[in-house]
């Protein structure tokens, strides 16, 4: 399993199992030698409920989602051609497709035991609308790995009913002011994106440092335990050697004691024989004396 397969499996898991699935697959990637893939997988964020439902829709109903993205292509072509009639024709279809997909997504979520609140339903619809409007958002939704819901301000200029609205031509001064605002907004968005990237990088670096420190601490503990085990083994070996020496000495002492016992026993037997002989000689001598 590579990172892409693991990422798909993580976002395909039930929302409640996201963290456990991510951590387990990250361990598998690391065990398989893909440390970078493991780190990338751990950095994946748990999806919000709306994002999770959008991901579910991308997996279960890919053809219907492709129809939504194709409708977005038609909108962009009509907008580029300034075809008001075509935009008015497409707008009802836009609402119809969004309504249908939102209902299908809610049913899929219900089958998985997830009931959608009004707020989540709104965020899901905004996400699908963003997928229709923006190609990059469409690709992100189609990939099925969203961690957050998406939102777009709208496709072109529309009124409150979603119908195309007449646009007042801009003077050169107002056009330049609009360009300046767009540039300022783009610069602000770029700065925010850079800041977010920096924050994400700092978060990843902090996580990496924390992981390295934890691994270093675990290695230090393992080394300490190993050294303690070696010392204990050496102490045990020394004690065994000492006991062996004591046993040898005890055996030698026992042998000497047994030899001494044997020698003393022999001497005792000899002394007893000598005593008996002496008593016999004493009795004979007494008899001889009495006869005199």
CA distance 8 to 79: 35
Q: 165 or 138, which is more confident?
A: 138
Tally of structural domains, the chain: 1
* CA distance to 27, 90, 245, 259, per residue, from 250 (Å): 58, 106, 9, 14
What per-residue confidence (pLDDT) applies to 185?
Answer: 59
Integer angstrom CA distances of residue 85 from 91, 164, 279: 10, 9, 154
- pLDDT value, residue 219: 82
Both tokens assigned to 11: 């976002």
Quick check: 166 pLDDT over 70? no
Establish if 141 belongs to a structural domain: yes
Phi/psi region, residue 14 (left: phi>0; alpha: psi -120 to 50; beta: rest), is beta
Q: Is residue 121 part of a domain?
A: yes
pLDDT digits (tens, 9 = 90+) for 96-147: 999 999 999 999 999 988 898 999 999 999 889 988 888 888 888 888 888 8
Distance CA 7, CA 21 (A): 10
The 3-state DSSP class for residue 164 equals strand
Other beta carbons less than 10 A from residue 93's beta carbon? 13
Three-class secondary structure of residue 158 per DSSP: strand
Backbone angles phi, psi at 223, to 5 degrees: -65, -45
129 domain residue, yes or no: yes
pLDDT of 125 = 92
Q: What is the pLDDT of residue 137?
A: 81
For residue 222, give Cα distances in angstroms to 76, 216, 227: 62, 10, 9
233 located within any domain = no
Residue 67 lies in a domain: yes
Q: What is the pLDDT of residues 23-67, one digit of tens each?
A: 999 999 999 998 998 999 999 988 889 999 999 999 999 888 888
Any idea which of 100-104, 208-212, 222-226 has the lowest mean pLDDT?
222-226
Could you tell me if residue 210 is inside a domain? Answer: no
- Asked whether residue 276 is assigned to any structural domain, the reply reads no
Token couple for 179:
């360009």
Report the alpha-carbon distance of residue 154 to residue 133 in Å, rounded: 7
Pull the structure tokens for residue 62.
């890919």
Band the pLDDT of 156: cuts 50, 70, 90: very low
List the domain range (segments joined by +) for residue 91: 47-161
The confidence band for 197, taking pLDDT boundaries of 50, 70 and 90, is confident
Inside any domain, residue 132: yes
Rounded Cα gap, residues 111 and 189, in angstroms: 39
Alpha helix stretches (DSSP H) within 144-171:
none
Sole residue written with tokens 């002492």: 253
Please state whether the predicted TM-score (pTM) of the whole model is above 0.95: no
Of 82, 76, 80, nearest to 167 (Cα)?
82
More confident residue, 207 or 173: 207
With cut-offs at 50, 70 and 90, classify the pLDDT of residue 194. Answer: confident
Residue-level pLDDT at 273: 86
> For position 72, what pLDDT does the model report?
86
- Give the pLDDT mean for 7-27: 90
Average pLDDT, the chain: 81
Region 156-176: what's the mean pLDDT? 37
Q: Is the dihedral of CA 121, 78, 76, 167 positive or negative?
A: negative
pLDDT at 178: 42
- Per-residue pLDDT, 104: 95
């Amino acid at each position: 399993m590579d990172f892409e397969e693991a990422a798909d499996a993580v976002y395909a898991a039930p929302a409640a199992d996201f963290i456990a699935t991510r951590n387990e697959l990250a361990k598998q990637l690391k065990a398989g030698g893909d440390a970078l893939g493991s780190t990338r997988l751990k950095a994946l964020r748990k999806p919000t409920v709306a994002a999770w439902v959008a991901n579910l829709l991308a997996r279960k109903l890919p053809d219907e989602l492709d129809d939504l993205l194709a409708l977005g292509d038609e909108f962009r072509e009509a907008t580029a051609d300034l075809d008001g009639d075509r935009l008015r024709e497409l707008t009802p279809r836009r609402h119809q497709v969004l309504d249908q997909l939102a209902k299908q997504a809610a049913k899929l979520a219900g089958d998985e035991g997830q009931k959608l609140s009004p707020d989540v339903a709104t965020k899901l619809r905004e996400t699908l609308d963003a997928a229709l409007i923006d190609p990059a958002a469409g690709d992100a939704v189609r990939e099925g790995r969203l961690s957050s819901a998406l939102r777009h301000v709208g496709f072109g200029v529309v009124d409150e009913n979603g119908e195309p609205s007449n646009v007042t031509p801009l003077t050169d001064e107002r056009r330049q002011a609009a360009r300046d605002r767009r540039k300022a907004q783009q610069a602000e968005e770029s700065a925010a994106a850079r800041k977010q990237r920096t924050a994400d990088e700092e978060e990843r670096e902090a996580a990496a440092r924390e992981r390295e420190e934890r691994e270093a601490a675990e290695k230090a503990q393992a080394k300490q335990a190993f050294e303690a085990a070696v010392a204990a083994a050496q102490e045990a070996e020394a004690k065994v050697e000492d006991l062996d020496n004591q046993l040898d000495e005890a055996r030698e002492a026992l042998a000497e004691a047994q030899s001494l016992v044997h020698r003393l026993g022999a001497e005792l037997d000899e002394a007893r024989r000598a005593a008996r002989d002496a008593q016999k000689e004493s009795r004979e001598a007494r008899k001889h004396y009495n006869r005199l």
